[in-house]
Amino acid sequence: MTTEPPTEQQLLPGIRYRTETRQRLVTHTVNGDPEQVEEDYDVLVPVPPRDWDHIVMTAVTVVAAGLLAIAIIWSVASIGDLLARAVLAPIAYLAASAFALVWISCMALEWLARYNADRAKGPRTAGTVALIADMAAVAAHGHLEDSLYVGIAGAAVSAIAKYMWSTVMRHQARPLPELTRRWLAKREADITARLALAGQLRTLARVEGQAAVYAAPPAARALQDNGQDTPGQLSPTVLSAVRAIRTTVPDLSHDDVLAHLDTLGLDYDTDTVLTVLDNEDSRSPGPRPVITPTGQTVTDSIRTAMSSGVQDKDKVVSYVHQIHGTGVPRSTIVRVFNRELGRTA
């Protein structure tokens, strides 16, 4: 569908138009062979009227920015000359810039909190205090130079600049209805709480890993410092990885957790990981794990079956299920069986 340029009769009176060149597909035939090609054509497009509100607002913002720049320059020059009486000039002027930058930064924070009146009170109060300190320093410089009126006029520049920016911000601010403001505050509080909780959980996990290292015997601690597992205890790296995997995907089977550890390239002891997972499952709601013989792990049961001459994979799985219950995944038994079979080969 193509748009034809409006005719003179279709032009609306009192509206300005401009000509735009556009493209459309037309069928062009050469030597009996038709082809779709682009054709340029002109259309008359209505020109929207000037947005004088936006133009005026832009001009006012530029004026406010100019006043702000003048206030900064005057404050830094006056306060810098005042402080230069006691310290080196570069240090004095660098410190003088802090007077203006503080109340300007407070205005920026006040603008960011424009949807929350309670939160905006703090930056507004701090900005007012910083502005008073700035004006007092400028006036003091004028007094020391025997030009108190000049100092007062210079201090007034900062006050005018801040008042101008405050007026611009109030004009552009759009206060929210009370119920909407409370809804936004509640939603922000929920998100902030989740972020804080995530950060604290990461801190606790790190502290717990450090506590496990320092609580271990010296020999075991040396192994853990190298990221290795000790018999019956995981290294902090593997333990943190296991808990991160179970927290992210809580419904994973033990074999899936081992597969994730393999993907991460971590060196771990299978029996120790399975023991940790069984202990965590026993503390979580749900069916209790099968009670196994004291001190006998899955690997011990597999080794017992193999040392008795059982080399059939299915028979080994059946034997382990009789000892430890059917909760042990077949893939885990097969994994350990293949490992032990490779060691004895």
If we measure between CA atoms, which residue out of 306, 308, 309 comes closest to residue 339?
306
In the DSSP assignment, the letter for residue 9 is T
Helix H segments across 113-217? 117-144, 148-172, 178-215
pTM confidence score: 0.48
Going by C-beta distance under 8 Å and a sequence separation of 6 or more, which residues neighbour residue 178?
none
Residue 51 or 102, more confident = 102
| Residue 188 counted as domain residue | no
- Choice between 31 and 324, residue whose per-residue pLDDT is larger: 31
What would the two tokens of residue 309 be? 């001459």
pLDDT tens column, 15-31: 888 888 999 899 988 98
Tell whether 228 is covered by a domain: yes
**What is the number of structural domains in the chain?**
4
Q: How far apart are alpha carbons 277 and 254 in whole angstroms?
A: 7
89 and 64 part of one domain: yes
Name the amino acid, one letter, at 301.
Answer: S
- Which structural domain, as residue segments, surrounds residue 44? 1-49
Query: What pLDDT is attached to residue 93?
Result: 92
**Pair 223, 279 in one domain:** yes
Among 145, 172, 199, give the residue marking a domain's end.
172
Do 242 and 313 reside in the same domain of the chain? no
268 shares its domain with 330: no
**End-of-domain residue from the set 142, 172, 202:** 172
Of the candidates 2, 147, 170, 23, which has an alpha carbon nearest to the alpha carbon of residue 78? 147
87 found inside a domain = yes
Q: Which of helix, strand or coil describes residue 291?
A: coil
Give the pLDDT confidence of 236-247 residue by residue, as tens digits.
667 766 776 666
How far from each other are the two terminal CA atoms of the chain, in whole angstroms? 77
